[in-house]
Structure 1
Amino acid sequence: MDEMTQLRELRADAPVPDRAALAPGRERLTGAIAGNGGRRTRALRLRLRLRLRLTPMLRDWRVVSLGAVVAVTAAALVITQVVGPSAPDRSAPATVVGDLDLTSPAAALNRAADHLERQEVPPEPRADQWVYIREVDGWQEQQWKEMPEEVRKKTPMTYSPDRWIPYDDEAAENDTSDTDYRTARESYRIATALPEDPEALLARLREVFPTGSGPDGAPEAKDEHSFRALSVLLESYPIPPDALARIYRAMATVGGVGVTGHLIQDASGREVIAVTRKYDRSESRREILLDPVDYSYAGNRDVVTRTHKVPTPKGYPAMVQKRGEVLIDIARTHAAVVDAKGEKP
């Protein structure tokens, strides 16, 4: 019996919680971690929805009650997960081929686009195929191992670095309750239809992944909204190389985007390019990681930009985030289209 069947049969008689019922617990947890800024909270909450695993935003299971853990787990499990993009096998550290220009985001991303535009575009996956993703997240794995047995028993999931996502998921496509979620097929077709003009491309993605209000905080400013929308799409797999080239050229035009002047080491030990942008209302930045050989998506990080205290709800331990601390560090080491769930390339 697979994990999803077990999950469906677990308390099958219980009603499925709606978004409103789950919101208070999810808001308390993500708010405590986010520190400030509704958009940062939104970005963190998105990760809860994207993984059928222990969420990497839980800085430590000790800082949340068992009830909060179960509530957040439910939130992550109720909504179908999204996929992310990348090269077939990058488990070994990348080796840079040719000259790598990291003097500016335009130099790095336009060079990446030039490379991708020379690549052959593979056919779209068949409806009966699956997307296999493997990601390294050492912190998440360690937290799962350290979680008390009584908490694990209340959590209907296990940690696994491997995921299989159906390419054609019609039921999920028809669920419009989550404006940030798109299936693998939807993401592929969104990417292929993006216009060449960077400004028009970004405007289109802001429409596809709209900004919000209410529990998500105030609407995002244009540039932050654009960068988040790009980030969401880039986590999808597959994205054709010509579409990825257009995405990178557009990303280079977003205000506030930077690139580290050197390769950084990701969670798997590889050297990767980091394209960065600071959150408008938080003391941290988002980093989109790219493979310096084929320029495919290689993961993401959130890094603290200034040492500060994190506001926490009454009764929660005080938290301090230090400059340079890595809050999220996920390395995508494998991504491929396969013919069956459980198959690995």
Structure 2
Amino acid sequence: MTKPTAPADRGFADEGPDKGLDARLVVHRGAFHLDVALTAAPGDVVALLGPNGAGKTTALRTLAGLTPLSAGGHLRLDGAALDRTPPESRPVGVVFQDYLLFPHLTALDNVAFGPRCQGAGKAEARAQAAAWLDRMGLAEHAGAKPRRLSGGQAQRVALARALATHPRLLLLDEPLAALDARTRLDVRAQLRRHLADFEAVAVLVTHDPLDAMVLADRLVVIEHGRVVQDGTPSDIARHPRTDYIAQLVGLNLYRGQAEGHTVRLDAGPAITTTEDLDGPVFVAFPPGAVTLYRDRPTGSSARNLWQCRVGGLETHGDQIRADLTGELPLAADLTTVAAAELDLQPGAPVWATVKATQTHAYPA
């Protein structure tokens, strides 16, 4: 296999203390305002998460140069200011959600397009493209046009096309959204391996928490154009700080004032925890920690007991998730057998218990 060639010198530093991404993405567009600080070192994979309309795509377009920065924003990559650099001159590769492969070109020529734009001759560009396709396990599909490729193959061709320009910043916009569930599992694992080998900064936008947890080293959660939480996947999964994040990672989340082992919620009853804290805190516990009863339990050792009503039921994986209202709104997971034995129906009264040892309290 021909080894992909080293990037041409385009005036961007490869070494030194300024390596990586240093950006403050400020965009004012009508009533929407984005203000997101984003830094990353070479080799980092950062996932931008957030609900629809939070500003994830605007942030990605701003990094690519497709949306201009507003006053107060800046964008530096490897120490070079890119604020006024046109998109085509930035050392940035983009994998779009729908891949946007050129339909009239073969996989080989799609990948060779970038090197050709950078001044490589036709033979050299095609040799580089062949090397990238080989690296992606697509050598036998070099002559195929996009319509003959599967979704997973098209995704890998799009990734090879982006990497063939030797970007210092790789942007991935919902890179797995167009794939069916079965293909997604395989391509996610392949993409993780390719990102692990990428030596520059990668930023991906996704609405899927599993994609983010598997692919990224760091999660940046955006709501209403602002960063609400930034950390490793494990830290964010254990310490959600907004309702959106709690729902994303599958936790019940509450805020209140701690007095020792008791947390008095801002809206609702108190929760007993094992942590000994004082002051503003969050309390979280998984839906699987909730046990339901139709009558008030008498022999339960659980310290937390609330009277609720079933607001709704839905299938959640191989379990039933009950949405409960009442003293404490919460979600509870139980087996289909347990749901049948309890004769759970919307509107049914229930008692919910959670052991203190299954809660987790941490400073707000």
TM-score category (smaller protein) = under 0.3
> Highest CA radius of gyration, 1 or 2?
2
Structure with the bigger RCO (C-alpha within 8 Å, sep 6+) is: 1
Which structure shows the higher strand fraction? Answer: 2
Report the TM-score when normalising by structure 1: 0.26
